Amino acid sequence: MEKKELDRAELDSRIFDGFAETSKRRYIYVCNMETGVSRWSRNAVEHFGLPGEYFENAGEIWGSYIHPADREMYFKDIEAVFSGEKNRHELDYRVKNIEGDYVTCTCRGVILKGENGEVDLFVGTIVNHGIVENIDATTNLYNIYEFWKNLQAVKESGECCRVLMLGVNNFSDINAIYGYSYGDKVLRGLSSILLEMVRGIGKVYRMDGVRFVCILPNYSNEELGDFYARIQYAARHALFVDDVRISVSMSGGVVDYQGDYDEYMVQANAKYALERSKQEKNGELYYFDNRLLENNRRNLEVLNALRKSIVNQCEGYYLCFQPIISADDGEELVGAEALLRWNLEPYGEVPPGRFIPWLENDPSFYDLGNWIIREALVKGKKLLDEYPDFVLNVNIAYTQLSHIGFVEAVKAILDETGYPPGNLCLELTERCRQLEKEYLRKEIDDLKSVGIKIAMDDFGTGFSSLNLLSELPVNTIKIDRGFIVDIQTNETNQAIVEAITNCARKLNVHVCCEGLETREMIEFIRQYPIYSIQGYYYSKPIRIEPFMAKFC
């Protein structure tokens, strides 16, 4: 049977070709509503295994790729657009890719009415949230994923380079004084300076929070010191925002990279060096001591053991619980936070501050994260008889929330354990806020639809701002302990906490303050409109048995 030749009228366009090739995760489509023939980006055809770049009956065919639970919603929305009931198609749904996995997509489409005899066209874009972009939206620099990718390339080449991590000192003061939108402008201005300084010699990346990284040639210490001095000078004297000069101070740490350990370890070592620059050297460049490489090799052994533990049914991992107390009286238990620990011979007890940052960047953390939720709910369920309103907080990492099957996995664990969804609160860690707002809002809405509460951890640092409270429907914010540790004497932190808590109260968002270590701190913090408090004054994180003995 001879293959039918499709009518490509109104679909062949060089402009379509150009736009279709501009992004691997953003696809365009156009449908001739008279002939019913559609044209799709080749990247969409390849990623989802569509019949071809041109095909008929695209609405039905595309609908067959959509998750069964989302399909009815999709067809109803398309019908509403085509019937004229609404003027545009705007929807988030899950679509099966060529590998058989579902990825969340955001679809936008409109009908272009033809004039002077031209046919009507249905045109739009589809954003595939399962593919991570490598550009930071705030600064337009390459992001952390591109940094890891390029370090892998350096390792494969066998070359040597120097990795310089830079941090802005006291950036929270800029946000507090000028506002978060202005703070973003400062970061963009600083990014432009760094980009100009590395042009032709290296590359610069936006990392998490207010950290940047430069990959530079194998400079001598003298050359690197001179380069760093020029960065510090430019940050103080050449940074302008809205034609006003803003002076910022920088700290920096440097690591020599010779390709004998992975990109995550390079990042961890660079962070270590940066912190030493801030805390011990007043911003002077800190060189990571190569004599610590032996420790790094041991760290790699520990990381491999951590991964193997996950495969071996999470052997060595266990949970501790820290109480969360009502701020009304400073006595009543209202919840607890489940915290991960690891102890396995011959490594012994490894501090969570050491291994969790490694694992959060590792794909294996998704499976471990599901184990944490399940284990926390099984143990936390024992407390519900004594405290029916008890809420268990479990931290969620970027690796989990960005996984397409995460929400369904959480629902399955709730069904399996019989734990009430309303007594579970998932805390979004700082890196989760790097996800696209649309995707993050969709995930939060899906979780809240079954009754789960959502908290935002470490509020006031990194990517968080008061604006997020209006953009994301969270139930609770946990103020970063950095604002609490000297709250009794630090007037700036007092003003910040007052602003955050008053704003949250008006938006009906609960506030939890962490890091409370003395009765005096607790009495002082209770002057603000907060809901709950947490800290060593009540208890360090402990296993469930002593926790129940103490509070039940």
CATH at residue 445: 3.20.20.450
Residues 6+ apart with CB under 8 A from 375: 314, 319, 338
Max CA separation in the chain (angstroms):
86
Residue with tokens 């953003």, as numbered in its chain: 26
Q: When comparing pLDDT for 342 and 481, which is higher?
A: 342
* 301 and 185 belong to one structural domain: no
* 113 and 211 belong to one structural domain: no
| pLDDT, tens digit (0-9, with 9 covering 90-100), for 445-454 | 999 999 999 9
- Is 510's pLDDT higher than 80? yes
- Do residues 92 and 79 make contact, with C-beta atoms less than 8 angstroms apart? no
Residue 6 inside a domain? The answer is no
* 69 and 87 belong to one structural domain: yes
Indicate the pLDDT class of residue 519, thresholds 50, 70 and 90.
very high
- Is 67's pLDDT higher than 70? yes
Residues above pLDDT 70, as percent of the chain: 93
- Is 410's pLDDT higher than 60? yes
pLDDT for residue 3: 44
pTM of the model: 0.53
Q: Nearest Cα to 507, choosing from 449, 456, 437, 433? A: 456
* Structure tokens, 527: 């002057």
- Is 4's pLDDT higher than 60? no
Residues 6+ apart with CB under 8 A from 533: 324, 325, 326, 327, 330, 512, 513, 514, 516, 522, 525, 526
* 276 and 312 belong to one structural domain: no
pLDDT for residue 10: 62
The partner residues of 35 in beta bridges, in order of sequence, read none
Indicate the pLDDT class of residue 492, thresholds 50, 70 and 90.
confident
Question: Reduced to 3 states, what is the DSSP secondary structure of residue 361?
Answer: coil
- 263-280 vs 293-311: helix axis angle to the nearest 10? 130
Degrees (nearest 5) of the Cα angle 361, 365, 107?
Answer: 80
Residue 8 inside a domain? The answer is no
Residue 55 CA to residue 282 CA, distance in Å, equals 63
- Is 258's pLDDT higher than 80? no
* 199 and 85 belong to one structural domain: no
Phi, then psi, of 142 in degrees rounded to 5:
-60, 150
Q: Total domain count for the chain?
A: 3
Mean pLDDT across 324-345 = 92
Residue 353 inside a domain? The answer is yes
Indicate the pLDDT class of residue 2, thresholds 50, 70 and 90.
very low
Least confident residue range of 255-264, 449-458, 484-493: 255-264
Residue 131 CA to residue 118 CA, distance in Å, equals 36
- Cis peptide bond N-terminal to 323, omega within 30: no
- Averaged pLDDT score across all residues of the chain: 86
pLDDT for residue 1: 35
| Maximum mean pLDDT: which of 6-15, 325-334, 411-420 | 411-420
Residues 6+ apart with CB under 8 A from 52: 45
Segments forming the whole domain that contains residue 264: 144-288
pLDDT for residue 6: 65
Q: What is the CATH number of the domain that holds 77?
A: 3.30.450.20
Residue 338 CA to residue 372 CA, distance in Å, equals 8
- Is 173's pLDDT higher than 50? yes
Task: Give the end of a domain, one of 257, 288, 319.
Answer: 288
Residue 283 CA to residue 467 CA, distance in Å, equals 31
* 49 and 70 belong to one structural domain: yes
Q: Nearest Cα to 190, choosing from 163, 166, 160, 170? A: 166
Indicate the pLDDT class of residue 296, thresholds 50, 70 and 90.
low
Measured in residues, the chain has a length of 552
pLDDT for residue 339: 95
| pLDDT, tens digit (0-9, with 9 covering 90-100), for 261-273 | 677 778 888 888 8
Residues 6+ apart with CB under 8 A from 534: 322, 323, 324, 325, 337, 478, 512, 513, 514, 515, 516
pLDDT for residue 241: 86
| pLDDT, tens digit (0-9, with 9 covering 90-100), for 354-388 | 788 778 777 788 899 999 999 999 999 989 988 99
Residue 1 inside a domain? The answer is no
| Maximum mean pLDDT: which of 214-218, 280-284, 419-423, 454-458 | 419-423
Least confident residue range of 142-156, 408-422, 518-532: 142-156
- Is 292's pLDDT higher than 90? no
Residue 325 CA to residue 327 CA, distance in Å, equals 6
* 91 and 192 belong to one structural domain: no
| pLDDT, tens digit (0-9, with 9 covering 90-100), for 88-125 | 899 888 899 988 888 888 899 998 887 776 778 899 99
Residue 137 inside a domain? The answer is no
* 357 and 421 belong to one structural domain: yes
Residue 133 inside a domain? The answer is no
* 376 and 516 belong to one structural domain: yes
Q: What is the CATH number of the domain that holds 241?
A: 3.30.70.270
* 369 and 438 belong to one structural domain: yes
- 365-380 vs 293-311: helix axis angle to the nearest 10? 60
pLDDT for residue 117: 65
Q: Nearest Cα to 105, choosing from 152, 47, 57, 154? A: 47
* 150 and 103 belong to one structural domain: no
Task: Give the end of a domain, one of 76, 97, 128.
Answer: 128
* 123 and 157 belong to one structural domain: no
- Is 322's pLDDT higher than 80? yes
* Structure tokens, 440: 């993050």
Mean pLDDT across 13-21 = 71
Handedness of CA 459, 464, 470, 474 (dihedral sign): negative
Least confident residue range of 13-22, 89-98, 175-184, 250-259: 13-22
